[in-house]
Amino acid sequence: MLVYPNAKINLGLHVTARRPDGYHNLETVFYPIPLMDALEAKESHTGGSFRQSGNALDCDPADNLVMRALKAVEAEHQLPQLDIHIFKHIPSGAGLGGGSSDAAFMVRLLNEQFQLGMSPSEMRKLVAPLGADCAFFIENSPMLATGIGDQLTPISVNLSGWTIIIVKPDIHVSTRDAYAGITPRQPAESLPDILALPVEQWQGRLFNDFEPHIFALHPEIAAIRDRLLDLGAVYAAMSGSGSALFGLLRAPIDHAEEKFADCFVRQRQL
């Protein structure tokens, strides 16, 4: 069976409080976008295997979230040996949720392929320990995320008809570095209130709290955001705590790949 795990963007991201357990409470909206990996699993006649192609991931195969998701399902359900192949197209370390999506889609694939009968809530519970945003990809629709990003509430946000451009510079932003410059605060406006406004009114009101610190550390990332706006994006921002940026436009950017050289990822209509 073949599935296509998609990426997400964060529409706004507020870091609202530091928790006693060392994590932080957030307020953000996860929105699915059509930037996809490919994931295939089929019964094996040779004892099972795992293969990855496309963008390289610097981790042991046993630590890959797809394999960890498989083990989580195997702990509760009997499965045959599988040959698994994942083609990575979503950039890693980008704030686009590629690894989390792969894990969630693996659980969804197994549930459908082997008729395991798991409900969406059971699948969310199964993937939650693998990553705070994994549960989002089970239902894969716009969600207001609070807590550490694991408390999900459906939200009405529709970007149909908008063009999105994704740019990922060759800069790694670690989660540790991203949070090092954060001072938690309560936002002046809630995300649902801002997102109820026309997209043309988001710039200057819809903020990612990681941006000031990350932009100061890496001015190249800020320059890409500004370039997106100069080229016609009505809203542009960093997604999550990674280094990928996205812009929302009414019309595609001509020759976008040339304009962003080797950091261009994809331009698509939502």
Q: Let me know: does 115 contact 131? Beta carbons within 8 Å.
A: no
Active site residue 37: no
Question: H helices within the chain, ranges in order?
Answer: 65-74, 98-113, 120-127, 136-139, 175-180, 191-195, 211-217, 219-230, 256-259
Tell me the C-alpha distance between 257 and 137, whole Å: 28
- How far is Cα 36 from Cα 96, in angstroms, rounded to an integer? 10
| Integer CA distances (angstroms), 149 to 56, 138, 158, 240, in order | 26, 14, 20, 11
Helices 65-74 and 120-127: crossing angle in degrees, nearest 10, is: 120
- Return the residue matching tokens 């686009």: 96
- Both tokens of residue 117? 């009968």
Q: Report CA-CA distances (Å) from 176 to 53, 173, 214, 237.
A: 28, 8, 11, 20
Q: Which are the contacts of 95, defined by CB distance < 8 A and separation ≥ 6?
A: 10, 238, 239, 240, 241, 242, 243, 244
Catalytic residue among 8, 37, 102, 168: 8
Q: Quote the CA–CA distance of 183 and 146 in Å, as a whole number.
A: 17
Q: How far apart are CA 49 and CA 105, in angstroms?
A: 18
From the candidates 37, 102, 133, 209, give the one annotated as an active-site residue. Answer: 133
- For the chain, give percent helix, strand, coil, nearest 5: 30, 30, 40
Is residue 133 annotated as part of the catalytic site, yes or no? Answer: yes
Residues with a catalytic annotation lie at: 8, 133
